[in-house]
Amino acid sequence: MLISVDRLIDFAEAIIGRGGGSREAAAQVSRTLVEANLTGHDSHGVGMLPAYIEGIKAGQLHPAATAEVIQEKGPFLLVDGHQGFGQVVARQATEWAIAHARKQHLAVMSLRNSFHLGRLADWGIMAAEAGFISIHYANVLSPHSLVAPHGGRQSRFTTNPYCTVVPATERHPLFVFDMATSTIAQGKARVAYMKGETVPDGCLIDHDGNPTNDPSVIFEEPLGAMRTMGLHKGYGMSLVCDLLGGAFSGGGAYLPERVIDGRIINNMMTILIDPDVFGSAETFFGDLDSYTDWVKSAEPVPGVDAVLFPGDPERKTRVERTKNGIPIDDGTWNQLLETAGSVGLSEAEIEQMVSL
Ligand SMILES: NC(=O)c1ccc[n+]([C@@H]2O[C@H](COP(=O)([O-])OP(=O)(O)OC[C@H]3O[C@@H](n4cnc5c(N)ncnc54)[C@H](O)[C@@H]3O)[C@@H](O)[C@H]2O)c1
């Protein structure tokens, strides 16, 4: 089905509100989730709502929790998210990190114990719009490990995302590089599974360690695993995310004793850097402009329209979906309807919210 941005926000907001979120939290969470759908990342969009409501019901997502500064030391800032909505506590933590970086050109902020943070780009973009280069390493303590170490057969950690955002120049938009360190994000395997589709080669192994394209190995016994992107290099990057995002913040690296049903905890280390510290920001942004032009001037290979920069695909999808509406697959839509019913929204209320 195709739904307009405003209707989807209203529907998501109503589910979160009835599910226990305050009016303000429901507004923030729904807008951030729909932004993920708008930019083409359905894996991190409204399809996460069933997991959020389950988290609240299991007492693992604390819908009224806000972030708290635990420690400040020079440029370092440790924040606890108290298992609140990631979309709420990460916004607070990023605002504090920005204020910190304004004072001393740098902030190293660890946010621990946040419920699911969604797309790391949301926080990187917020910092970049305030003028800072923003670097993020995050781990995920979710109930099942998903990703196998390079050369291993069983999963040992999850999709640990990494992100860097660089402020826009007068000629070019934000550089937004934001990715899971697994070959695909878990939500993309979920979306393929719900649609009954396969995933590309090289993403998954079955329980015997053989390559497979069938996403059911992630959701049905006997369980297989996802692979890290870029073979041993992505594997190393994923470990860095668990160590810097998880262990370093005190939130913890992925260990079996740290995972609990209904809980999706993200721990994230964020580094904000003033672009004006080495030489001048003007030189840096001038070089960024020339470099962007140079890289994008490469002729595309057959079947590709143009060489893109990170962030371009999301901007393109955003324009398209803002105009035409957001496609939601049947499996995800049915789960949303079920979740809406489970928090007490009647069919008539839902109909009124989502019909054209
Ligand atoms: N909160 C969590 O626990 C969690 C866990 C994993 C992933 N995530 C999020 O999932 C989202 C999706 O991750 P993903 O790995 O599926 O992203 P992806 O593979 O779709 O994109 C990764 C990056 O590559 C860029 N890109 C894509 N195609 C390109 C092209 N042709 N040319 C140049 N650049 C291109 C994108 O702009 C993006 O910056 C991210 O926002 C990530 O933060 C969150």
Give the side-chain half-sphere CA count within 13 A for 134.
31
Q: Which domain holds residue 340?
A: 1-57+326-356
Q: Is residue 196 part of a domain?
A: no
pLDDT of residue 190: 84
Structurally, the chain folds into a number of domains equal to 1
Q: How would DSSP label each residue in 226-262?
A: E-BTTHHHHHHHHHHIIIIIIITTTS----GGG--TT
Q: Is residue 35 part of a domain?
A: yes
Q: Which of 145, 158, 178, 238 to mutate to test the pocket of ligand 1 (most atoms within 8 A of CB)?
A: 178
Q: Is residue 206 part of a domain?
A: no
Q: Which of 117, 157, 163, 179 to mutate to test the pocket of ligand 1 (most atoms within 8 A of CB)?
A: 179
Q: What is the spatial distance between Cα 124 and Cα 163, in angstroms, rounded to a whole number?
A: 7
Q: Is residue 19 part of a domain?
A: yes
pLDDT digits (tens, 9 = 90+) for 135-183: 999 999 999 899 999 999 999 999 999 999 999 999 999 999 999 999 9
Quote the ligand 1 centre to 179 CA distance (angstroms): 3
> From the CB of 136, is ligand 1 less than 6 Å away?
no
Closest-CA residue, ligand 1 atom 13, reads 179
**CATH number of residue 50's parent domain:** 1.10.1530.10
Q: Is residue 31 part of a domain?
A: yes
Residues in the chain where the model's pLDDT stays below 50:
none
pLDDT of residue 186: 84
Closest-CA residue, ligand 1 atom 39, reads 177
pLDDT of residue 356: 60
Q: Is residue 352 part of a domain?
A: yes
Closest-CA residue, ligand 1 atom 24, reads 310
pTM above 0.85, yes or no: yes
Quote the ligand 1 centre to 141 CA distance (angstroms): 19
> From the CB of 310, is ligand 1 less than 6 Å away?
yes
Quote the ligand 1 centre to 6 CA distance (angstroms): 24
Q: Is residue 30 part of a domain?
A: yes
Query: How far from chain centre, in Å, is Cα 331?
Result: 21
Closest-CA residue, ligand 1 atom 18, reads 179
pLDDT of residue 279: 86
Other CB atoms closer than 10 Å to residue 8's CB: what's the count? 23
> From the CB of 40, is ligand 1 less than 6 Å away?
no
pLDDT of residue 185: 83
Q: Is residue 356 part of a domain?
A: yes
Q: What is the spatial distance between Cα 239 and Cα 233, in angstroms, rounded to a whole number?
A: 10
Q: What is the spatial distance between Cα 71 and Cα 80, in angstroms, rounded to a whole number?
A: 10
Strands 76-80 and 106-115, bridge-based pairing: parallel
Quote the ligand 1 centre to 54 CA distance (angstroms): 25
pLDDT digits (tens, 9 = 90+) for 298-330: 999 999 999 999 999 999 999 999 999 999 999
> From the CB of 42, is ligand 1 less than 6 Å away?
no
